[in-house]
Amino acid sequence: MDALDPVIHQPARLQIMSAICQLKDDERVDFTFLKQQLGLTDGNLGSHLATLEERGYIRVDKEFIARRPKTFISVTSSGKAAFTAHVGALQAILQLK
Amino acid sequence: MILCITEFSVVNITPEEAAQALREIEASRVAMRSAIQAHRGHLHLWLWGSLWMSTSVLNWDDNPAHTTASSLLMVGGGLTSALIGILQGRQVRAPVNPRFVAVCITILLFGFVAWPVVLGPPHGYRAAFGLGTLVWMQLYIVAGLWFDTYLLWLGIAATAIILAGLVFLPGLFWACTLLAGAVLVGTGFHVRNSWK
pLDDT digits (tens, 9 = 90+) for B112-145: 899 888 888 888 888 888 888 899 999 999 988 9
Which has the closest alpha carbon to A72: A40, A26, A38, A3?
Answer: A26
Average pLDDT value for chain B: 85
For range A2-17, the mean pLDDT: 89
Q: How many CB pairs under 8 A join A and B?
A: 83
Question: Is residue A13 over pLDDT 90?
Answer: yes
- Mutate which of B20, B26, B36, B195 to disrupt the A interface (most A C-beta within 10 Å)? B36
Q: Would you state the pLDDT for residue B2?
A: 37
Q: Are A72 and A31 in contact (CB under 8 A)?
A: yes
The torsion region of residue A63 among left (phi > 0), alpha (psi -120 to 50) and beta comes to beta
Question: Is residue A73 over pLDDT 50?
Answer: yes
Most trustworthy range by pLDDT among A47-51, B30-34, B93-97, B191-195: A47-51
CB contact under 8 A, A15 and B90: no
Q: Distance (Å) from the C-alpha of residue B184 to the closest C-alpha of chain A?
A: 24
pLDDT band at A24 (very low <50, low <70, confident <90, very high): confident
Domains and CATH numbers, chain A: 6-91 (1.10.10.10)
Longest CA pairwise span in chain A (Å)? 55
CB contact under 8 A, B15 and A96: yes
CB contact under 8 A, A33 and B10: no
pLDDT digits (tens, 9 = 90+) for B35-91: 777 777 889 999 999 999 998 888 888 777 788 888 889 899 999 999 988 888 878
- Nearest-by-Cβ selection for A94 from B19, B90, B95: B19
For range B158-185, the mean pLDDT: 91
Question: Is residue B194 over pLDDT 90?
Answer: no
pLDDT band at B93 (very low <50, low <70, confident <90, very high): confident
pLDDT band at B5 (very low <50, low <70, confident <90, very high): very low
For range A13-39, the mean pLDDT: 90
- Mutate which of B28, B97, B195, B196 to disrupt the A interface (most A C-beta within 10 Å)? B28
d(CA B22, CA B78): 43
